Amino acid sequence: PQLYEKIKHFAKFPQTGVSLRQMVMFGQKPSPATFFKASQFLHEELPIRLAHRVKELDELPRSLGDMPSIIKVKNWYAQSFQELIELPPPEITSELKASFRDAAKNSQSLPQSTPNLAIPQSKPTGKYYPTIGHRYYNNFENIKCTPPILSYTDSFVKAIENVKRRHDPVVTTMAQGIMEYKQHRKTSMIDADVQQFLDRFYMSRIGIRMLIGQHSALYRGPFMRNYVGVICTRTNIKDIAQDAIANARFICEDHYGLFRAPEVKMFCPGDIEFMYVPSHLNHMVFELLKNSLRAVVERFGPDYEDEYPPIKLVIAHGKEDITIKISDEGGGLPRSGIPVVWTYMYTTAQAQELEPEFNKSEFKAPMAGFGYGLPISRLYARYFGGDLKLISMEGYGTDAYLHLNRLSNSDEPLIM
Ligand code: W6P
């Protein structure tokens, strides 16, 4: 009622995107001012983003919007919105002002929101900040933090972490909602619309969780070299690919009861380092490898062990993009089947369990988890200005191209 009026009001404001580079610039040298300004930004940006989601969930055609699980998700968004707007707004106390003055006197002002600039490499001076004793920050600098700021920051971080935790089950619950919709639908919303809605919805979720995760990581650590929050400024693709290969092969062996999963041969020209979120990269490469491994094992059967054609993982390094190509000889997909790979409507493990008539050979179950892996991976790629494409040769195999934008100053896609 009253809450929904507020939500409508907030949903009128445009969402503000933040690029990877901006996040790095902002969090590079965290000080009390950093946390204060970040809190200020998030305190207004998060409710705006949540409000957009509630509004959109509310305006879905009834056939979808009335599904119990969709309503559940909407209520989580509304509750989180309410919690955030009820938090006291960050205010400049006299102590905070003093702390800003100190910071301004002692260091150059924080570079912020300045895309296209090289990241300053200057070493932190450290000595300007008295020791606080128990808290270390990125770049191993002790920071002065007066108690009122600390407590504001602390309660703010706790509040947004709580929001993030509440929304952990959103993907599964939405999937459940889609199932409910499929069982109930009479007047159908066409699949393309559901698809677009979910792409927007999950993309927005990635962004919200990135902002919260980044703030929380900047505040809590662990503080590691070359990391700014959850962003690694020197993400080593080869290391991450190697890790994903080991994990995907292990999962494959486990799932099919193999001694040796198909081999994955990596071709990588030296060590390529770039700015990225390692967990996102790992997630995408792992997902693609699982699909390739599955295709190969299912094409040749479990008794073909040691003779499977290897999967090729090629890493290319250009000015604009770093591209990872993963090629399998798993028999490929018919060209008409490619769009289906990106849909949310037909790919859940639950979908197959709930619908016995579902044709398993037409759509293969994922090796683990449920099958939102590919569409969500593509959103992760697009989130920082990359993309994910599949090219298939039916009867032979599939090439997946994962493009990652090296310039890292593309803004968050907030509307697709
Ligand atoms: C396939 C189907 C697929 C999807 C994504 C990545 C690789 C592959 N291989 O056969």
On the question of pLDDT at 263 being above 80, the answer is yes
Q: Which one has a higher pLDDT value, 252 or 138?
A: 252
Percent of the chain clearing pLDDT 90 (strictly above): 52
CA dist 238 and 266 (Å) reads 8
Sorting pLDDT into bands at 50, 70 and 90, what band is 190?
low
On the question of pLDDT at 203 being above 60, the answer is yes
Strand partners, 139: none
Which residue type occupies 245? I
Sorting pLDDT into bands at 50, 70 and 90, what band is 189?
low
Q: Which one has a higher pLDDT value, 82 or 412?
A: 82
pLDDT in tens, 329-344: 999 999 988 888 898 8
Q: What's the average model confidence in pLDDT over 81-104?
A: 72
Q: Whose CA is closest to 304, among 295, 313, 314?
A: 295
Q: Which one has a higher pLDDT value, 189 or 122?
A: 189
CA dist 301 and 306 (Å) reads 12
Q: Which one of 285, 288, 340, 391 would you pick to mutate in the ligand 1 pocket, going by the greatest count of ligand atoms within 8 A of its CB? A: 288
pLDDT in tens, 33-70: 778 888 888 998 999 999 999 999 999 988 889 999 99
Region for residue 34 given its phi and psi (left: phi exceeds 0; alpha: psi -120 to 50; beta: otherwise): alpha
In the annotation, is 12 catalytic? no
- Chain center to CA of 273: 20
Tell whether ligand 1 has an atom less than 6 A from the beta carbon of residue 408: no
Instruction: Check residue 94 and give its pLDDT.
Output: 62
Helix (H) or strand (E) holding 214: helix 191-220
Q: What are phi and psi of 322, to 5 degrees?
A: -105, 130
Instruction: Check residue 69 and give its pLDDT.
Output: 95
Instruction: Check residue 137 and give its pLDDT.
Output: 30
- Say which residue the tokens 């879905």 belong to: 60
Of 45, 141, 287, 329, which residue is the catalytic one? 287
Sorting pLDDT into bands at 50, 70 and 90, what band is 128?
very low
Percent of the chain clearing pLDDT 70 (strictly above): 76
Cβ 313 vs Cβ 402: under 8 Å: no
Q: Which one of 292, 362, 389 would you pick to mutate in the ligand 1 pocket, going by the greatest count of ligand atoms within 8 A of its CB? A: 292
Q: What's the average model confidence in pLDDT over 285-289?
A: 96
On the question of pLDDT at 144 being above 80, the answer is no
Helix (H) or strand (E) holding 58: helix 32-58
Q: Cα of 89 to ligand 1 centre, how many Å?
A: 48
Q: Whose CA is closest to 289, among 252, 256, 239?
A: 252
Instruction: Check residue 186 and give its pLDDT.
Output: 65
Strand partners, 397: 393
Please, what is the average pLDDT of the chain?
80
User: Strand pairing of 264-267 and 311-317?
Assistant: parallel
Q: Cα of 411 to ligand 1 centre, how many Å?
A: 29
Sorting pLDDT into bands at 50, 70 and 90, what band is 88?
confident
Judged by average pLDDT, the poorest of 60-74, 146-160, 163-177 is 146-160
Sorting pLDDT into bands at 50, 70 and 90, what band is 124?
very low
pLDDT in tens, 288-344: 999 999 999 999 998 888 899 999 999 999 888 999 999 999 999 999 888 888 988
On the question of pLDDT at 108 being above 60, the answer is no
In the annotation, is 283 catalytic? yes
Sorting pLDDT into bands at 50, 70 and 90, what band is 362?
very low
Of 144, 283, 364, 389, which residue is the catalytic one? 283
Which parts of 223-328 fold into alpha helices (H)? 237-256, 278-300
On the question of pLDDT at 78 being above 90, the answer is yes
Which residue type occupies 198? L
CA dist 204 and 360 (Å) reads 31
Tell whether ligand 1 has an atom less than 6 A from the beta carbon of residue 45: no
Q: Whose CA is closest to 29, among 125, 97, 132, 168?
A: 125
Tell whether ligand 1 has an atom less than 6 A from the beta carbon of residue 330: yes
Q: What's the average model confidence in pLDDT over 261-266?
A: 97
- Chain center to CA of 127: 36
On the question of pLDDT at 347 being above 70, the answer is no
What are the residues whose beta carbons fall under 8 Å from the beta carbon of 255, sequence distance 6 or more? 367, 368
On the question of pLDDT at 178 being above 50, the answer is yes
Q: Cα of 128 to ligand 1 centre, how many Å?
A: 54
The two three-digit tokens of residue 236, written as one number: 């080593």
The yes/no answer to whether this complex scores an ipTM above 0.90 is yes
CA dist 388 and 403 (Å) reads 6
Sorting pLDDT into bands at 50, 70 and 90, what band is 369?
very low
Decide: pTM greater than 0.90.
no
R_g of the chain, CA atoms, integer Å? 23
CA dist 192 and 195 (Å) reads 5
Instruction: Check residue 52 and give its pLDDT.
Output: 96
Long-range contacts of 177-182 (CB under 8 A, 24+ apart): 177/64, 177/67, 177/68, 177/69, 177/70, 177/72, 177/73, 178/344, 178/345, 178/348, 179/348, 179/350, 179/351, 179/354, 180/67, 180/68, 180/69, 180/70, 181/63, 181/64, 181/67, 181/70, 182/345, 182/351
Tell whether ligand 1 has an atom less than 6 A from the beta carbon of residue 60: no
CA dist 29 and 397 (Å) reads 47
Q: Alpha carbon of 118 to those of 108, 123, 310: distances in Å? A: 16, 14, 40
Tell whether ligand 1 has an atom less than 6 A from the beta carbon of residue 333: yes
